[in-house]
């Protein structure tokens, strides 16, 4: 299985809602990533987990809260988002943190009303 899956594919939420994005991989990768991508722009790194521990947090607002329950799963909990948070949220994984290529999921298209 060489796939990273993400659910849901689309999400519309109000500014007072709480929702979660889910990411799963079964490639035995030990590093997992969350990115935010606006249209026609490069992905912006948000969080990196290595061996289930948060390794990098790129000064992301606290309304985004990552969680890595086990080596295959990565969640992103959303609360009190702003309309400017609307974007494509991409999850990725790699064998190790430093020098391996990343495998990306198809993303969750988030719209905040």
Partner 1 sequence: AQSVAQPEDQVNVAEGNPLTVKCTYSVSGNPYLFWYVQYPNRGLQFLLKYITGDNLVKGSYGFEAEFNKSQTSFHLKKPTALVSDSALYFCALTNAGKSTFGDGTTLTVKP
Three-state DSSP class for residue 84: helix
| Binding flag, residue 71, partner 1 (CB under 8 A) | no
Question: Residue 15 CB, nearest distance to partner 1 (Å)?
Answer: 25
Neighbours of 44 (CB within 10 A): 14
User: Contact 26/92 with Cβ under 8 angstroms?
Assistant: no
| Binding flag, residue 53, partner 1 (CB under 8 A) | no
Residue 17 or 55 with smaller CB distance to partner 1: 55
| Binding flag, residue 41, partner 1 (CB under 8 A) | yes
Residue 28 or 106 with smaller CB distance to partner 1: 106
Which x/- pattern, by CB under 8 A, does the window 82-101 give for partner 1? --------x-x----xxx-x
Residue 56 or 113 with smaller CB distance to partner 1: 56
In the DSSP assignment, the letter for residue 33 is: E
Rounded CA-CA distance 77/113 in Å is: 17
Structure tokens that stand for 60 in this block: 């992301």
């Amino acid at each position: 299985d060489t796939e990273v899956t993400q659910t849901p594919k689309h999400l519309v939420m109000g500014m007072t809602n709480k929702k979660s994005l889910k990411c799963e991989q079964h490639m035995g990768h030990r590093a997992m990533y969350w990115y935010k991508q606006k249209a026609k722009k490069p992905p912006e790194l948000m969080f990196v987990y290595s061996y289930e521990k948060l390794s990098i947090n790129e000064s992301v607002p606290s309304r985004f809260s990552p969680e890595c329950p086990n080596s295959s799963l990565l969640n992103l909990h959303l609360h009190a988002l702003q309309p400017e948070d609307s974007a494509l949220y991409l999850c990725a994984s790699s064998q190790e943190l430093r020098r391996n290529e990343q495998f990306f999921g198809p993303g969750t298209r988030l719209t905040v009303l």
